[in-house]
Amino acid sequence: MLKKTLALAILSGMSFAASAVTVDLRHEYIDSGSNADRVAVSHRFD
């Protein structure tokens, strides 16, 4: 989890020059017992 948090912080830091930044972090619970994390970073330059 620390590596994921560090990667998210780095990606966010790289996007400071963007005018609009969206960070989408999702954690999915599945009934079979497996879990999944997803991170998406998108930005727009205007």
Taking the model in full, what pTM does it have?
A: 0.39
Q: For 23-41, write each residue's pLDDT tens digit.
A: 888 888 888 888 888 888 8
Predicted confidence (pLDDT) at residue 14 exceeds the cutoff of 70? no
Share of the chain above pLDDT 90, in %: 0
Specify the residue for token string 């966010």.
Answer: 12
Domains identified in the chain, total number: 1
Q: Are 39 and 7 in contact (CB under 8 A)?
A: yes
Segments forming the whole domain that contains residue 14: 2-44
What pairs with residue 4 in β-bridges?
Answer: none
| pLDDT score for 46 | 61
Examine the pLDDT at 18 and tell me if it is beyond 60.
no
43 phi-psi bin (left φ>0, alpha ψ -120 to 50, beta other)? beta
